[in-house]
Structure 1
Amino acid sequence: MAHCFSCGRTCKDINKFVAEIGRSDLQITDSIKFTPVEVPEFFGIEEDEIDDDLNVIPMPESWKRCFKNPYLKSRGFTTDDYQYFPVGTTRGLNFKFDDYVIFPIYDAGDIVGYVSRHTWSKDDIDAYNDTAKRNGKYQIRRYNNSIENDFVKLLYNYDAVIEDETDTVILVEGVFDVIALTRKLDLYDNHRIVPVCTFGKKISDAQIFKLQNKGVKDIIIGYDTDASDAINVAADKLNEYFDNVMIAKLVGEGKDWDEAEFWDIYDTFAESLYTPIEYKLSNVDGKI
């Protein structure tokens, strides 16, 4: 329908309307046919699916689970830790993994990777490597991890997340952070809240997809707060996919969860959780 606000005339016929405005060439006749618009090919490309396929891998040769280890004892390991978080060594039978403790990474009950941590301190490793480099000898790697599956597809302690039962996941950087939080907050059999390791201060689309598949609703980011930019990036990304995203700012003198005392951890979750916006504003104000 066309209406002229100058003369007040209304026209309900398109052919009469275009004739009156001097555009009879636009009149619709039976001979006119409309061909569908050809959509360029690139508009038909579907979004790539998330690649979360994983290969089941073997543990290093001669690896055997252990339930007692001097290095792990020095890290506070308890009987429950050995029970809930399998760990082992190659017992000196595989020189590539001498002086390493090796944690398998499980996904749906299958081993899809492993984290291998040298038992020497970082300072001792650096001192040895300085000498070894000058003498042309083999240098020690602090971590000697699996390479079969990309770690951006892996989550440590993922099998502890129970589908449609685990509401909240605490994201941390490393394996020892997961174990320390579980021990200090006694979360061994608590399936509602589960610490999970993303192997650094980043989270990938594949890792997000895996958590969504389990029905996780709430995320607490527990990365070391010495890298606020990385935390902000992770929080913005997670905020698009989960109901609630909070950032835990560890209080007290502990650098990470493994070093923190129980009451510092308790106070963190009781009084030092921030929304992504609050965290950004606090950083600007210099409060964090």
Structure 2
Amino acid sequence: MALTKSETEHLISEISRELGAKRDGGYKNLICQCPFCKKEGKFGIYVGKETERKKLFMSHCFSCGASTYTLEQLLETIGRVDLMVTPVADLSAKLEPALLFPLESEDKIDDSLAIIELPDFYRRTFSDSYLKSRGFVFDDYEYFPAGTTGRLNFRYNDYVIFPVIDQGDTVGYVARHIWSKDEIEKHNRRAKLRGEYRIMRFRNSTENDFTRLLYNYDAVIEDETDTVIIVEGIFDVVALIRKLELYDNKQIAVVATFGKKISLTQIFKLQSKGVETVIIGYDGDAVDSIKKAAGELGRYFEVLIADIEDPAKDWQDLSYTEIYDTLAYRLKTPLEYTMTKIQQ
């Protein structure tokens, strides 16, 4: 039976009090006197995250070798079977796709992903003039892998490539040309007339549909990250994390949906990690897209909308003070946001 977070915390607290146990240095075990051989400080109860080999509340004595393998066995051993959790319906439990999205066919909630290869001759960079012009600092290079192919791969000349990581695997990439949108459009107008090679602003991976991907998804820590800010693009993620210094923050994460839409698969990926609150941080001029996303997200999360005061600006353009004011004073519920836009 799966335990909820509150049930687990209650059990740890009660077992610690019963046995006079203390956490070890890694905070993954309760250490106390062995109930079998009575040796002090030799009995360990595992309370870390479950793995294939380690299960919650498994215990072992490093003196006499006695062990228990289930919560029920442990509670019987210490004489506290009254703490055994009775199975009841858990309203906060994560749901299977077919139950989470009852109006959708199960095959539409497919979050399976193929592991892909980055373009030939891709090499990670820790110093790049284009990224520097976009505000990159040392910590950004560390936290957000980016690279180029140099001149060894003509297809990606003058592109910066951002791998998209999911569960530690590379499942996609975004290749962004270093020229501005205006420069590319100007070049392409001339190239069309002359029959020359035209430049694509983005040259992205194609193996996995981007509606199944979230940039910076691995920053969402299961059952630890309770709030996620959803933005449009990679540079929005980097800018918010840099300006708010969220690099190592486990409670708040920032992810990008690669545009102004969010899919059911992306919603499921966030819900499956126990996220409770989402803040929609799409560009200020994307009013209709924000309303639609809020309606879709509102079925599964508490939703707030970051109402950027100047619709011509995005997170990259905003100063720290403007970002702080937006998140401190301009967070609105979907209803408040809708009413504000109607009045305008």
Task: Identify the match of residue 123 of structure 2 among 18, 40, 64.
Answer: 64
Task: Identify the match of residue 187 of structure 1 among 246, 250, 262.
Answer: 246
State the Cα deviation string for residues 160-217 of structure 1 (Å, max 9, x = none): 1000000100000000000000000000000111110001111000000000111000
Task: Identify the match of residue 199 of structure 1 among 248, 253, 258.
Answer: 258
Task: Identify the match of residue 111 of structure 1 among 170, 176, 192.
Answer: 170
Task: Identify the match of residue 262 of structure 1 among 320, 323, 334.
Answer: 320
**1-side partners of 2:287 and 2:104: how far apart?**
35
**1-side partners of 2:214 and 2:104: how far apart?**
27
- Cα distance 1:285–1:85, how it changes in 2: closer, same or farther (>3 A)? same
Aligned residue in 2 for 1:227: 286
Q: Say if 2:281 and 2:305, in contact at 8 Å, map to a contact too.
A: yes
TM-score by length of 1: 0.82
Q: What is the percent sequence identity of the aligned residues? A: 59
The structure number with the bigger radius of gyration is: 1
Match of 2:288, SS state, is helix
Aligned residue in 1 for 2:112: 53
- The 5 A counterparts of 1:95-244 are 95-242=154-301, 244=302
Give the C-alpha shift of residue 121 in structure 1. 0.8
TM-score by length of 2: 0.69
Aligned residue in 2 for 1:278: 336
Give the C-alpha shift of residue 227 in structure 1. 1.8
**2-side partners of 1:252 and 1:284: how far apart?**
17
State the Cα deviation string for residues 128-179 of structure 1 (Å, max 9, x = none): 0011111111100111110110000000000010000001000000000000
Greater Cα shift, 77-86 or 251-260: 251-260
Residue 202 of structure 2 aligns to which amino acid in structure 1? Y
Match of 2:325, SS state, is helix
Give the C-alpha shift of residue 46 in structure 1. 9.2
State the Cα deviation string for residues 88-127 of structure 1 (Å, max 9, x = none): 0001110110000000000000000001110001111111
**2-side partners of 1:47 and 1:260: how far apart?**
41
How many residue pairs align between the two structures?
241
Q: Say if 2:145 and 2:162, in contact at 8 Å, map to a contact too.
A: yes
Give the C-alpha shift of residue 251 in structure 1. 3.0
Match of 2:111, SS state, is coil
Give the C-alpha shift of residue 47 in structure 1. 3.5
Q: Which has the higher contact order (CA 8 A, sep 6+)?
A: 1
Q: Say if 1:252 and 1:264, in contact at 8 Å, map to a contact too.
A: no
Unaligned runs of 5+ in 1: 1-44
Match of 2:106, SS state, is coil
Give the C-alpha shift of residue 48 in structure 1. 2.2
**2-side partners of 1:252 and 1:81: how far apart?**
26
Unaligned runs of 5+ in 2: 1-102
Please give the root-mean-square deviation of Cα atoms over the aligned residues, in Å: 1.4
Q: Say if 2:176 and 2:201, in contact at 8 Å, map to a contact too.
A: yes
Residue 222 of structure 1 aligns to which amino acid in structure 2? G
State the Cα deviation string for residues 224-271 of structure 1 (Å, max 9, x = none): 1212111101001100011x1000012358610011111000000010
